[in-house]
Structure 1
Amino acid sequence: MISFARHALSGLSLLALVACGSDAAKVTAETPLVDLGDFRLGHNVVIAKDAQKAPFSREATEEEIETALTATIQERLGRYEGDKLYHIGIKVDAYGLAAPGLPVLFTPKSILVLAVNIWDDSQNRKLTEKPKVIVVFESLTGETVIGSGLTRSREEQLDILTRNAALKVERWLQENGRWFGVEPIAPEGSEADDARAALEVLAPDAVPPAANDN
């Protein structure tokens, strides 16, 4: 059974950025901060070893994924200057970078599936009882509605996915504001629908056999 399926079936909490809306913009000096109380980023560890590759995907190395995601997490969460250190560890369970040349019917999507943990440095304690599973897609635009493999390079896809992932991790922290001494915000998204969407993308028969050869 695929790695993501094991997480889903074990009942891990899941939050997805479905393929709609807009992709996260690059973080700049003008990007607003959210209320994360006493949060300050300590260790920022990303591991992509043995990440499952979706059947439609272009290739990406472990190092490429780890480097890109570490950078976007640092850019977004390294801006906070709270009074306490929190360490974030991310395991990349699966990835997909939509390849060109697939039938329009299958609308291939780029995807990241992450398992996220957080530690409170001052208490020397892990705050997550189980990893938080976050599923991230590219958003659909007029150019990518038939698959971003036709309009974006794999480097562009990975950049967008990791920026979206960093934004979703930031929102997840907001949803757990009590960790940082602030009021949490309400979670968004349907866990069951998101799990099904991710499994559909990652399933071995997500694209026809002929398409896998492109």
Structure 2
Amino acid sequence: MSDALTRRAFGGLSLAGLSACAVPDPLGVDLPEMGSFQLADTVVVPETAKKIPPSRNATDAELKRAMTSEIERRFGRYAGGKDFIIAVAIDGYALAPPGIPVLLTPKSILVVTANLWTAEPQEKIGGPHQITTFEGANSLLLGSGLVKDAEAQLTTLARNMASKIQSWMLRRPEWFDLPA
């Protein structure tokens, strides 16, 4: 991982306590309007992921499964009629190990580079766009390593990332035939 990515990840850790709590399950909430958007495919590339210490381990398969699942949970309900492909390269991650409450509370982080493609014709319309997310403020004092296993941390990170990807996409409403 580049020094810039490492600095960005650890610099952002100081802001983790200011971030919102974990994003709710997309199946239980009303999602924003996405106009003509319809998910045709999800491409997740975990092989370039760098572990940001201190961190628990995650395999490429675990990273891919979590990110793919949460993108499909968030975007799979949209049926706007125009097929899009969301492509994500996982750049880095940290899954917080158990720490010492209040004194040492490692944070979980996920860094990805997102791209958006139209399916027909297959053409990139957005990205690369690097996005960083954390688990949320609910783990500020204890650190999620004390209360969640690595799989639960990864699920929360992937869910938060899918929400951030959607926010990035919606900053360009013309992609989805939405009013500006």
Report the counterpart of residue 135 of structure 1 in structure 2. 132
Are the counterparts in 1 of residues 70 and 162 from structure 2 also a CA contact under 8 Å? Answer: yes
Q: Which runs of 5+ in 1 are unaligned?
A: 10-15, 185-214
The verdict on how the C-alpha distance between 1:119 and 1:18 changes in structure 2, with shifts beyond 3 A counting, is farther
Report the counterpart of residue 93 of structure 1 in structure 2. 91
Report the counterpart of residue 159 of structure 2 in structure 1. 163
Distance, in Å, in 2 between the alignment partners of 1:34 and 1:77 is: 10
**Letter matched to residue 61 of structure 2:** E
Q: What is the TM-score when the length of structure 2 is the normalising length?
A: 0.86
Report the counterpart of residue 81 of structure 1 in structure 2. 79
Report the counterpart of residue 172 of structure 2 in structure 1. 176
Distance, in Å, in 2 between the alignment partners of 1:40 and 1:33 is: 14
**Letter matched to residue 109 of structure 1:** K
Are the counterparts in 2 of residues 68 and 159 from structure 1 also a CA contact under 8 Å? Answer: yes
Are the counterparts in 1 of residues 22 and 156 from structure 2 also a CA contact under 8 Å? Answer: yes
Please give the per-residue CA displacement for 1:141-199, whole angstroms capped at 9, x wherever unaligned: 2x542321111111111111111111111111211111111135xxxxxxxxxxxxxxx
Report deviation, 1:56: 0.6
Superposition pairs of residues 44-59 of structure 1, within 5 angstroms: 44-59=42-57
Distance, in Å, in 2 between the alignment partners of 1:154 and 1:17 is: 18
Superposition pairs of residues 1-214 of structure 1, within 5 angstroms: 2-3=1-2, 5=4, 20-28=19-27, 30-101=28-99, 104-128=102-126, 130-141=127-138, 144-184=140-180
The verdict on how the C-alpha distance between 1:125 and 1:7 changes in structure 2, with shifts beyond 3 A counting, is farther
Are the counterparts in 1 of residues 101 and 141 from structure 2 also a CA contact under 8 Å? Answer: no
RCO higher in structure (CA 8 A, sep ≥6): 1
Count of residues in correspondence between the two structures: 174
Report the counterpart of residue 11 of structure 2 in structure 1. none
Q: Which runs of 5+ in 2 are unaligned?
A: 9-14
Are the counterparts in 1 of residues 48 and 89 from structure 2 also a CA contact under 8 Å? Answer: no
**Letter matched to residue 105 of structure 2:** T
Distance, in Å, in 1 between the alignment partners of 2:32 and 2:3 is: 30
The secondary structure found in structure 1 opposite 2:26 is: coil
**Letter matched to residue 136 of structure 2:** S
**Letter matched to residue 124 of structure 2:** K
Q: CA RMSD in A?
A: 2.5
